[in-house]
Structure 1
Amino acid sequence: MRDDFDYEDDLDYSFDDEEEDDDFGMTFEEDLYLMIREKLRDTIQEYKAQYPAIRKLESAVSSFKINAKNTDDSKFYPLAAKLLSEHIKPLTEESEEVLEIYENMQTDIARFKNQRAHGFEGEYYLSE
């Protein structure tokens, strides 16, 4: 029976180096903030041709800047996410789609306080 198990063929010890490099040295807060930005970017790319309000969202997200020197990751990234959501909140009055994106984003922002909370994935807030 032992001869039936070939370690080289039956166990896959390959690692995805690219994925590991992405997370190397990254805090939970930074990873979460980057995930929020990625969801926004992917959603905007997917729907901006269909909804003019999402083109406005694209402009708002691309113009968002934050400057918080001497702030550690545990405070900077939650602050950046909160300020980003406040930056796009006025657009929620113009569009149901942007409102849905904003509300779904709030679910992810809540994860800064509760790391075990499940993030939101949906039609107007894409995860890939």
Structure 2
Amino acid sequence: MRDDFDYDEDLDYSFDDEEEDDDFGMTFEEDLYLMIREKLRDTIQEFKGEHPSLKKLETHVSSFKVNAKNTDDSKFYPLAAKLLLEHIKPLTQDSEEILEIYENMQTDIGRFKNQRAHGHEGEFYLTA
């Protein structure tokens, strides 16, 4: 007796990234960068009351700007994420919490090179 749904025959495992990008109006790189920023913002908001060092991180992150004119999304957003990480790196010496956030962001940033990689999900660096 045959099941009504055969995983090998009935599922299409192909993913057309360009088609998905058109549906939402953003590239994978932009979506990933915005997710990283959102997770960082949400983590700061959630824990800055308990960890005063995160108030300094919040100020530092809010002053972060990227100026990379004439750069397409596939290069701009990975560059922006890397520069953001470098921007907060000096603060990792101030607290263990910022160091943990920094290390967890590195995991997400690694997804720019390997889109199928699983990003960081954790208690102190919130999931989006």
TM-score range relative to shorter protein: 0.7 to 0.9
Deviation of the 1:49 alpha carbon: 0.7
Question: Displaced runs of 4+ in structure 1, greater than 2 A?
Answer: none
**Corresponding residue number in structure 2 for 1:28:** 28
Q: What is the alpha-carbon distance in structure 2 between the residues aligned to residue 33 and residue 124 of structure 1?
A: 18
> Is residue 78 of structure 1 aligned with residue 53 of structure 2?
no
Q: What is the alpha-carbon distance in structure 2 between the residues aligned to residue 108 and residue 56 of structure 1?
A: 22
**Corresponding residue number in structure 1 for 2:45:** 45
Q: What is the alpha-carbon distance in structure 2 between the residues aligned to residue 123 and residue 86 of structure 1?
A: 23
Q: What is the alpha-carbon distance in structure 1 between the residues aligned to residue 60 and residue 30 of structure 2?
A: 21
**Corresponding residue number in structure 1 for 2:17:** none
Q: TM-score, normalised by structure 1?
A: 0.81
Map 1:9-24 → 2, pairs under 5 A: 24=24
Residue type of the alignment partner of 2:75: K
**Corresponding residue number in structure 2 for 1:109:** 109
Can you list the C-alpha shifts for 1:83-110, whole angstroms capped at 9, x where unaligned? 0000000110110010000000000000
Residue type of the alignment partner of 2:81: A
Structure 1: 5+ residue runs without aligned partners? 1-19
Deviation of the 1:121 alpha carbon: 1.1
SS at match of 1:125: coil
**Corresponding residue number in structure 1 for 2:121:** 121
SS at match of 1:107: helix
Can you list the C-alpha shifts for 1:23-47, whole angstroms capped at 9, x where unaligned? 6111000000000000000000000
SS at match of 2:53: helix
Residue type of the alignment partner of 2:96: E
Identity %: 82
Structure 2: 5+ residue runs without aligned partners? 1-19
Which one has a bigger Cα radius of gyration? 1
RMSD: 1.3
Deviation of the 1:123 alpha carbon: 1.5
